[in-house]
Structure 1
Amino acid sequence: MFVFVSNLIYNFFIAFGVIIGASVFAGIAALINNHPPVRTMFHVASSIKIWAVAVALGGTFSSFRIIEQGLIKGELKSVVKQIFYIVTALIGANLGYSFVKLIQRCGAIWIK
């Protein structure tokens, strides 16, 4: 049980970190290229959410292979575990995206 919960925490924070890290570095690149950094951060965060989930799960097909094998062999426990991993990674990626949106909104307030 402890391993399952720790893997959920890892999946959440890996997906969250991919979104935040990619957005921050895209913002730095936008500054270097003389483009608007906050808009670039928001665009990058919205376009890489699915990739953040794939990174958190350890590849694009491993979870789906485990779900398939679990359904064929009738092991519902592994299927439920993988669904929790996917949902947790989705929540982490969406929370990272929401955090970048919050930065964008705060930037709009501070500029005025």
Structure 2
Amino acid sequence: MCDFFSNLLYNFLIAFGVIVGASVFAGMGAIVNNHSPVKTMISVASSIKIWAVAVALGGTFSSFQAIEKGLLKGEIKSVIKQILYIMTALIGANLGYSFIKLIQRWSKIWME
């Protein structure tokens, strides 16, 4: 049971980190290219959310295979675990996107 909660935490933080890390590095690239870093960060964060979930799950096919096996063999516990892993990764990715949006709001306040 402890492994299950550890994996949930890992999925959340990996998805969150992918969004925030990619956005920050895209913002640095935007500075080098003389573009708006905040707009670039928002654009990147919104476009890679699904990839952050895929990275957190370690590849989407393994999760869907586990769900399929669970449904066909009647192992509901396995299906619920995979759905919770997917939901946790989605929450992490969306929270990462919200964090980048918060940075955008802060930048508007700082520019005033």
Equivalents in 2 of 1:60, 1:67: separation in Å?
A: 11
Equivalent position amino acid for 2:68 in 1 = E
Equivalent position amino acid for 1:96 in 2 = G
| Alignment correspondent of 1:33 | 33
Displacement of 1:109 in angstroms is 1.2
Q: What is the TM-score normalised by the length of structure 2?
A: 0.99
Cα-to-partner distance string for 1:14-60 (whole Å, 9 max, x where unaligned): 00000000000000000010000010000000000000000000002
| Alignment correspondent of 1:97 | 97
| Alignment correspondent of 2:106 | 106
| Alignment correspondent of 1:76 | 76
Equivalent position amino acid for 1:33 in 2 = N
Look up the SS of the partner of 1:25 in the other structure. Answer: helix
Look up the SS of the partner of 2:39 in the other structure. Answer: helix
Look up the SS of the partner of 1:3 in the other structure. Answer: helix
Equivalents in 2 of 1:12, 1:60: separation in Å?
A: 15
Look up the SS of the partner of 1:34 in the other structure. Answer: coil
Percent of matched pairs sharing the same residue? 75
Displacement of 1:61 in angstroms is 1.1
Q: What is the TM-score normalised by the length of structure 1?
A: 0.99
| Alignment correspondent of 2:55 | 55
Equivalents in 2 of 1:22, 1:74: separation in Å?
A: 39
Corresponding pairs, count: 112
Equivalents in 1 of 2:6, 2:59: separation in Å?
A: 18
Please give the root-mean-square deviation of Cα atoms over the aligned residues, in Å: 0.5
Task: Please list every run of 5 or more consecutive structure 2 residues that lacks an aligned counterpart in the other structure.
Answer: none
